[in-house]
Homo-oligomer: A and B are copies of this chain.
Amino acid sequence: MRLFFLLLLCSACAMAQEKPVYTDARNFQFIGKGLPTDPVYVRLDTVQTRPMTQAVKYLSTHSAGIAVLFQTNSPYIRARWQLAKGLFYANITPIAHSGLDLYCLNKGRWQWCGVGRPGDKDTLNEGPLVSDMDTAMKQFLLYLPIYNQVTSLEIGVAPGASISRVEKPAVDTTRRVVIYGSSILQGASASRAGMAYPAILQRRTGWEFINLGYSGNGKMEFPVAELLATMPAKVFVLDCIPNPSAEEIRERAYPFIKHLLTKRPEVPVLLVETAFREHGYFDLKVGKVVKEKNDVIRDVYTKLKSEGFKQLYYLPATGLIGHDHEATIDGTHLTDLGFMRQAEVMLPLLEKLMKKSAPAK
């Protein structure tokens, strides 16, 4: 009897001390990338961003919208990830800006199952994503940090467990939606990476979404339009009214959008107004600026439509984030509540555009 308990104890100790086996994530498939890059963890690499502003170059290193697909039968999954630097944002959780967000394919649907928590001391993080699962083979989708740069990522599983590339990924990469925009698009202020609206839509539709949100810098510079026009896409979404001034929109929006429409006549382009800033109901200056920007982009849309661009569509901001004024953390940046509302408004519209662009096989 004593021996039995001793054996039990040893076995418990062994489990507690068991070292996971780590695999470099670069062995698996990445989604959410507009074009291939080197290194794989950035959204655009230095060759692609050469003609762009310093800010866009820098923000392109953030891994917003990038996710890795893998399958394993391990009872637990851990991660070890190195970040470029420590961060503090008053309006974003560390789990969102520097952490990981894991989903498991359950009966054909992506279901949330765990997060990787970054620490505040070190830029090398290691920790559990999910534990104590059954050991059936499962497909996983792991979103990378939305506001930090990942320099390495390894996935840890139990010794003896299998981990590999997914054979039949539940993401249809032929149905790609490429979205260009601001900090809101990049994911501020989702609670975790998978709650930025493109990520929600990705899981709901099974399509691939490319997040080209540039915090404070989605300003419609022409070289961005030139690069967008080279990306494989079935639908383009331009959610880039938050950052440029009304004057910048007046100058840049017409050539930017026209370039995309002309170079890619087969791809529907959805133009999205900026949601009204919630503090703009009290801050009269802010309220005026938002209204003016939407007025200007509506004019550009009308002009392009009058020129015959039938594949251009328009989404007014009314109702985009609800009517209770509670969908943001700071008046500008959407919380999970705001992102869920925006995703629900956009979903039927994107389904319609995808049907035009890529009819069912």
Question: Contacts of A130 on B, CB cut-off 8 Å?
Answer: 279, 282-283
Q: Does A285 contact B (CB under 8 A)?
A: yes
Q: Does A185 contact B (CB under 8 A)?
A: no
Partner of A329, one of B191, B200, B337: B191
Which of A104, A120, A285 has the most chain B CB atoms closer than 10 A to its own CB?
A: A120
Question: Contacts of A99 on B, CB cut-off 8 Å?
Answer: 90
Q: Is the interface of A mostly helix, strand, loop or mixed?
A: loop
> Do A279 and B114 touch (CB < 8 A)?
yes
How distant is the Cα of A327 from the Cα of B336 in the complex, in angstroms? 8
> Do B91 and A284 touch (CB < 8 A)?
no
Q: Does A266 contact B (CB under 8 A)?
A: no
Q: Does A313 contact B (CB under 8 A)?
A: no
Q: Does A28 contact B (CB under 8 A)?
A: no
Partner of A189, one of B93, B114, B131, B327: B93
How distant is the Cα of A327 from the Cα of B194 in the complex, in angstroms? 12
A131-B335 contact in complex given A91-B95, A329-B93, C-beta closer than 8 Å: no
Q: How big is the A interface, by class?
A: 35 or more
Question: Contacts of A335 on B, CB cut-off 8 Å?
Answer: 191, 195, 335-337
Question: Which B-chain residue is minimally distant from A326 (CB atoms)?
Answer: B112
Q: Does A115 contact B (CB under 8 A)?
A: yes
Q: Does A259 contact B (CB under 8 A)?
A: no
> Do A91 and B93 touch (CB < 8 A)?
yes
Question: Which B-chain residue is minimally distant from A120 (CB atoms)?
Answer: B88
Q: Does A132 contact B (CB under 8 A)?
A: yes
> Do A281 and B106 touch (CB < 8 A)?
yes
A283-B90 contact in complex given A195-B335, A331-B114, C-beta closer than 8 Å: no
Sample of 18 more A-B contacts, CB < 8 Å, known A90-B95, A112-B278, A337-B337: A88-B94, A89-B93, A90-B99, A90-B118, A90-B120, A91-B95, A91-B115, A93-B189, A112-B326, A113-B279, A114-B279, A132-B286, A133-B282, A191-B329, A195-B335, A326-B340, A335-B335, A335-B337
In the assembly, how many copies of this chain are there? 2
Partner of A132, one of B93, B104, B191, B283: B283
Question: Contacts of A115 on B, CB cut-off 8 Å?
Answer: 91, 329-331
Q: Does A85 contact B (CB under 8 A)?
A: no
Question: Contacts of A88 on B, CB cut-off 8 Å?
Answer: 94, 120
How distant is the Cα of A191 from the Cα of B92 in the complex, in angstroms? 8
What would be 9 A-B contacts, judged by CB atoms less than 8 Å apart? A91-B94, A91-B95, A91-B191, A95-B329, A106-B281, A115-B330, A117-B330, A133-B283, A326-B336
Question: Which B-chain residue is minimally distant from A192 (CB atoms)?
Answer: B329
How distant is the Cα of A91 from the Cα of B96 in the complex, in angstroms? 8
Annotate A71-89 by CB proximity to B: 1 below 8 A, 0 otherwise: 0000000000000000011
Q: Does A206 contact B (CB under 8 A)?
A: no
